[in-house]
Amino acid sequence: MAIEIERRFLVRKDIRSLCRDGLSIVQGYLPSDDGRTVRVRVAGPDATLTVKSPRRGPCREEVEHPLPLDLALGLLRHSCRGGLIEKTRYLSHHHGLCWEIDVFGGENAGLVIAEVELSRPDQLVPLPDWVGAEVTNRAAYSNSSLARSPIRGWASAA
Amino acid sequence: MAIEIERRFLVRKDIRSLCRDGLSIVQGYLPSDDGRTVRVRVAGPDATLTVKSPRRGPCREEVEHPLPLDLALGLLRHSCRGGLIEKTRYLSHHHGLCWEIDVFGGENAGLVIAEVELSRPDQLVPLPDWVGAEVTNRAAYSNSSLARSPIRGWASAA
């Protein structure tokens, strides 16, 4: 069981210059009735099954396990509930921290979220000038929520 | 992808003398919308995730992958649909074939099914005197069906 400490931000500037060597990610969620998320992810040639506890501020517990690619693809196609998340992940280093910039596609096209993993919850985070509003605690921006309720439906629901 | 070739029979005689050194098994099923079963099994200290195609006679395709025990227990508790299968498995050798005798508990208590894995579909199977009716092609006796519709409900539904 690892603890993931993470802060998440919308990205507000044109970040095309940062978008080199992206990693294609498709992920979906198995049902879970206890508030944890059970994520199936295919990232490039690799696949994983990851269970995450509900978030407490920037922290959540996480267990990750590799899966064979064909098994993961089958789970994504036939066992996940809600839609799938499609995104391309780019990495950018800023003042010693590694930012993961997720450019969403599919039903969430237009959304860009940058995440930074920390070693402690109160760690100072020097913000790059391209980050915008923090969404760490905004549940609607979690990947599992975006799978169920992608942003394409937000305007019509508002 | 392996091919599982298996015939299954009800057990009609008292088989207590065969029931030594049983292996406790708990298994459940993740949702799947394409006719395959996605089984999470904890057998003693080991856990697996197994995808099986629909059965064609005694044959089905199978992909099995080990899981960490805590992850499997979480999936059984919170992500599987339908009930769980609880059974104890005993092994018995007869004329060179290894029979797996599953003594069910929980909602399927009273049911005993013996399975034998074969190397070809038309292989001759010398039957021990304790086997009864063959249920290879009786879908209601599949483990995934018994998880959704255990035998405890069969009498009242009849």
Q: What ipTM was predicted for this assembly?
A: 0.76
Instruction: Nearest by CB to A34, from B67, B78, B81: name it.
Output: B78
What local confidence, expressed as pLDDT, does residue A158 receive? 52
Encoded amino acid at B4, one letter: E
Residue A19's H or E segment, with its range, is none
Q: A-side interface with B, Cβ within 8 Å?
A: 1, 30-34, 36, 38, 49, 51, 63, 65, 67-68, 70-71, 74-75, 77-79, 81
Encoded amino acid at A138, one letter: R
pLDDT digits (tens, 9 = 90+) for A3-56: 999 999 999 878 888 888 999 999 999 999 888 999 999 999 999 999 999 988
Q: Is A141 a catalytic residue?
A: no
Rounded Cα–Cα distance for residues B20 and B45 (Å): 18
Contact at CB, A31 and B67, closer than 8 angstroms: no
pLDDT digits (tens, 9 = 90+) for B79-106: 998 999 999 999 999 999 999 999 999 9
Per the CB < 8 A criterion, the answer to whether B32 and A79 are in contact is yes
Residue B94: Cβ-neighbour burial (10 angstroms; 0-12, 13-18, 19+): middle
Encoded amino acid at B117, one letter: E
Contacts of A83 in chain B (CB under 8 A): none
Q: Determine the length of chain B.
A: 158
Q: Give Cβ neighbours of residue B16 (< 8 Å, ≥ 6 apart).
A: none
Q: Which of B11, B26, B29, B47 is catalytic?
A: B29
The count of other CB atoms within 10 Å of the CB of residue B122 is 7
What six digits make up the tokens of B61?
Answer: 């395709």
Q: Which of A29, A90, A104, A141 is catalytic?
A: A29
Strand pairing class (B2-11; A131-134)? unpaired
Q: Give Cβ neighbours of residue B145 (< 8 Å, ≥ 6 apart).
A: B139
Q: Which residues is A115 bridged to in the sheet?
A: A8, A100
Instruction: Nearest by CB to A65, from B33, B34, B67: name it.
Output: B67
pTM: 0.85
Q: B-side interface with A, Cβ within 8 Å?
A: 1, 30-34, 36, 38, 49, 51, 63, 65, 67-68, 70-71, 74-75, 77-79, 81
